[in-house]
Amino acid sequence: MIHQLPLPLTWPDQITFDNFYLSPSNTAIVDCLRQIAERKKSEKYICLYGAYGVGLSHLLYAACHSVQAAGGAALYLPLKKSLSPHMLEGSEHLS
């Protein structure tokens, strides 16, 4: 069996919660994601879905960036790509 080595990837500095366009319809999800990233909520896995172009990738990158900035470890897996179950190995140890 081939094992995949995790690489210490970082997210672009410009993709943060601070530069996400807030509107009345997305304030609650942004607040929730911030709380998860800051470990004020205990969820370990986040899955967002919605229409193309509404900022879902931005929010997930921002959450990963916040976790990493706080000294934690995060993993972003875009589900539009073909995924292997082995890609999740070790994810239980992530922040």
**Each residue's pLDDT tens digit, 45-84:** 778 888 888 898 899 889 888 888 888 888 887 777 777 7
Q: What does the block give as tokens for 31?
A: 């607040």
Whole-number Å distance between alpha carbons of 67 and 15: 13
Q: How many CB atoms lie within 10 A of CB 37?
A: 23
Give per-residue pLDDT as tens, 13-25.
788 999 999 989 8
pTM attached to this predicted model: 0.73
Q: Is 72 exposed, middle or buried (0-12, 13-18, 19+ CB in 10 A)?
A: middle
Backbone angles phi, psi at 59, to 5 degrees: -65, -40
pLDDT of the residue at 3: 56
